[in-house]
Amino acid sequence: MSKVFIIGANGKVGKNLVNVLNESKEHEVSVGLRKEEQFGYFEEKGVKPVFLNLEDNLDAFTDAINGSDVVVFTAGSGGSTGPDKTLTIDLDGAAKSVKAAEKVGAKQFIMVSAIHADSPDQWTEDMKPYYIAKHYADQIVQGSKLNYTILRPGGLSDDAGTGKVTTDESGFKTTQIPREDVARAIAAAIGNEKAKGKIVSLLAGDTPVEDVYN
């Protein structure tokens, strides 16, 4: 049984991931939260909450994730914040997560990035700070010593998941993907040797999510 630590668990993808992992009961799950009032929701699901503010220092990150086999970063500053929070959460928070995961000897790091994070020609002006943060956060993951998987989903919807996605950008028929299916793609990567070093774009499609790393 792997010990999985989710950074950004209070977000919608994170909550979906907790539900998906609870279905399998194959992992011991902990989550990093910055408010005590968020604890109850996860405790009711049998998940261990740990204090972690993404603006804390590296030592706080290291203490929070110590003992974890797998670290999942699915945090985001959200659309209502400015470029300053995008920088501190999506970039600096990710960088500290990677460094902490290295320090504690995590066996796997899974990054939830964004589609086109490596294609500046497709960045819109209003989303540029977000894409810049994701772009360089991905590079930090790739430059680390960690066994990593980077997932780059398109626009996130609250539609019910289908369990099917596409990873072929030339075949994209939509710009979106249900958050539940992103969560299932994360779960499918955990402990999966075929997911090692993979960078995977994700949108709604016809490929069973468990086959995306083949």
Q: Which residues are catalytic?
A: 130
Cα 162–chain centre separation: 19
User: Which residues 6+ apart lie within 8 Å of 101 measured at CB?
Assistant: 65, 68, 71, 109, 144, 146
Residue type, 201: S
User: Which residues 6+ apart lie within 8 Å of 179 measured at CB?
Assistant: 12, 13, 16, 156, 157, 158, 161
DSSP lists the bridge partners of residue 73 as: 7, 111
Cα 212–chain centre separation: 16
No. of helices (H) and no. of strands (E), the chain: 7, 11
d(CA 162, CA 181) in angstroms, rounded, equals 7
